[in-house]
Amino acid sequence: MKKLKFLINRIFGIDYRQLFDTVKKVHKLSGKNSLFLFFDIIYCGIKYQSGYIDYLNARMDRLNREERRDVVTRGVNNQYVVKYNDFDYVHYFINKVDFNNKFSKYLGRDWLLVDGNHQRDAFADFIKDKTDFILKPTDGTHGDGVAKLPATMDSFDANLDKCPYLAEERIIQVPEMSSLNPTSVNTLRVITFLDKKGASHILAAYLRIGREGLVDNFCSGGMLTPVDLETGVLHYPAVDGENMAYEVHPITGNHIVGFKIPQWEDAKALALEAAHVIPQVRYVGWDIAISEKGPCLIEGNEYPGHVFYVFAEHHPDHKGCRHIFESIMD
C-alpha cells in the first residue's frame, strides 16, 4: 500500500517537461532509443521506485536487474525514513532552535535566537569580540536565506523583518578543508543508523564542496563525493548537479581525488555519539564541519538526501548502497 501511494503521488506530481529533458540527456549519453528510454524510466519508477533523476544520476540504463535493485532510490529512501524515524520527534531536526538546544554539546559555536527588538541587548552581548556572524532562518533548508553579516548593531536593525532567526558564530574551518574551496565551509554528510540493540553505525559518508558561494549545498551549486569510511580519503571525483565530475576543483585547482579528511576519526565519533541523543529517530544524515575547534555539528537531517548515494561516477562496479545499508538495518 505504501509503495502504491508513493507511485500515485509520483505520477500526479511529475514534471513531464523535466522527464522528457531527462530522456534526451540519457539518449545523448547512451545512444539508446528515446522511446525505449521513456518506457524504461517509467518501468524503473514502478519496479524500483526511482525518479527520473535517479535514473539519470545512477545511469540505470546501464544496470541489470540486480544492480538496479541495489540503488537507494527516492522511494527506497522514503521507506527507510518512514520505517525508522518517529515523526513525533523529527521536530528536533526540522526546527533549528530545537536542534541547537538539544545538540548544544556538539555545536562548537555560540548562537542566539533573535525574535524581536527586545533582544537588542542580548544581540549586543553576542557580537562582542566578533567581526561577523551567520544569519540562519529557523526553518530554512538547502542553505536558503543563510547570510554572513557584519557583527554590528546595524545588522540587527536591518534584519528585524527576518525574525525569528538564528545568529551563529561563524565556523572557521581548518586550512586543509578551506584549501578545497575557501568561500564556503565544506561539510561532511555522515549517515548513521541506530539498531534495535542501541548500537550506532555509519552507513556512508560524503564530502560536500562549495563553488564560489557561501554554502556548499549540492542544490546551490556545490559538489559531492564519497569518503572512505576506514581512511577518510576521497577516492572518486566530486560530481555536481549537472553530472559533471571533477578530480580537481574547477575554481581553486586543488586536487579532490586523494584528499584526506582531517580529524576523520573524531568526526566519525561525533556522528556515532550524536545518533544516540534522539533514539526515536534512527536514520539520520549529520552535517559536520571540521573547524579549528574540532568537528562540530551544523545540523541533522531526519530525511537524509538520497541523491548522495546514487551517482554512477561513484559506483564504477555498478554496486549500489542498498545491500550495505540493509545488512545493518533491521
Helix (H) or strand (E) holding 91: helix 91-94
- pLDDT value of position 5: 59
pLDDT tier at 118, thresholds 50, 70, 90? very high
Place of cell 524500483: 48
pLDDT in tens, 275-286: 999 999 999 999
pLDDT, mean of residues 129-141: 87
Place of cell 545493518: 328
pLDDT tier at 141, thresholds 50, 70, 90? low
CB 95 within 8 A of CB 136: no
Helix (H) or strand (E) holding 245: strand 245-246
Place of cell 539520520: 284
Which of 132-146, 262-276, 306-320 is predicted least confidently? 132-146
Query: What's the whole-number average pLDDT of the chain?
Result: 92
pLDDT in tens, 7-47: 555 555 567 788 999 999 999 999 999 999 999 999 999 99
Assigned C-alpha cell, 133: 556572524
How would you classify the pairing of strands 132-137 and 165-168? antiparallel
End-to-end CA distance of the chain: give it in Å, rounded. Answer: 20
- pLDDT value of position 73: 97
pLDDT, mean of residues 128-139: 92
- pLDDT value of position 174: 97
Closest CA to 282 of 106, 90, 71, 102: 90
- pLDDT value of position 8: 55
pLDDT in tens, 39-91: 999 999 999 999 999 999 999 999 999 999 999 999 999 999 999 999 999 99
Q: Which residues have C-beta within 8 Å of that of residue 17, sequence separation ≥ 6?
A: none
pLDDT in tens, 153-204: 999 999 999 999 999 999 999 999 999 999 889 999 999 999 999 999 999 9
- pLDDT value of position 180: 93
Q: 128 exposed, middle or buried (CB, 10 Å; 0-12, 13-18, 19+)?
A: exposed
Task: Determine what percent of the chain is predicted with pLDDT higher than 90.
Answer: 83
